[in-house]
Amino acid sequence: MGRNPIETILGAVVLVVAGLFLAFAYSMADVQTVDGYPLTAVFNKTGDLTVGADVRVSGIKVGTVTEQRLDTDTFRALVGMTITPDVQLPADSTASIVSDGLLGGQYVKLQPGSATEKLQSGATIDNTEDFQALEDMVGDIIFLATQGGTQ
């Protein structure tokens, strides 16, 4: 059986359209890293946080997670991030790892404090809240429900 030239042309059109769709999706995804100043946050548990994840304040992307490493002295997770230069966070700000919906990935949520001093480049945020997995929360609810019924 010989190939029909229409099938070949149609296949080429499909490949071109798929390439255009991928280029459009990449340009709209906002996956590039943020230029700015570095900060580090210290966590006990990071969940599935990945390098390249968003750093947000009030739901607005203000930075990117640039690294994760283990502090070999305290065995806590150090999360490095870059924050845009126009966002100057108070020194008493809080960092937490939250989930972007039920099936979404994790991101770092920064809650600005009320201090007049600002976090300097290279500063460490010690005031953090660890990632709370859905499985942990369900387990806590079941534990509380069973303990409440036995008393």
Same domain, 59 and 3: no
Within-domain flag for 131: yes
Residues 18 and 92 placed together within one structural domain of the fold: no
Per the CB < 8 A criterion, the answer to whether 39 and 91 are in contact is: no
Question: Who's near 99: CB < 8 A, 6+ residues apart?
Answer: 47, 105, 106, 131, 134
Q: Do 94 and 124 belong together in one domain?
A: yes
**Region of 75 on the Ramachandran plot (φ > 0 left; ψ -120 to 50 alpha; else beta):** left
Domain that holds residue 23: 1-30
What's the pLDDT score for residue 2?
Answer: 60
pLDDT tens string, the chain, 151 residues long: the values are: 567 888 889 889 999 999 998 888 777 665 555 678 999 999 998 888 899 899 999 989 999 999 999 999 999 999 999 999 999 999 999 999 988 876 778 899 999 999 999 999 999 998 888 777 666 777 778 888 888 655 5
- What does the pLDDT read at residue 46? 87
Residues 42 and 61: their CA atoms lie apart, in Å, by 20
Any domain includes 67: yes
pTM of the model: 0.69
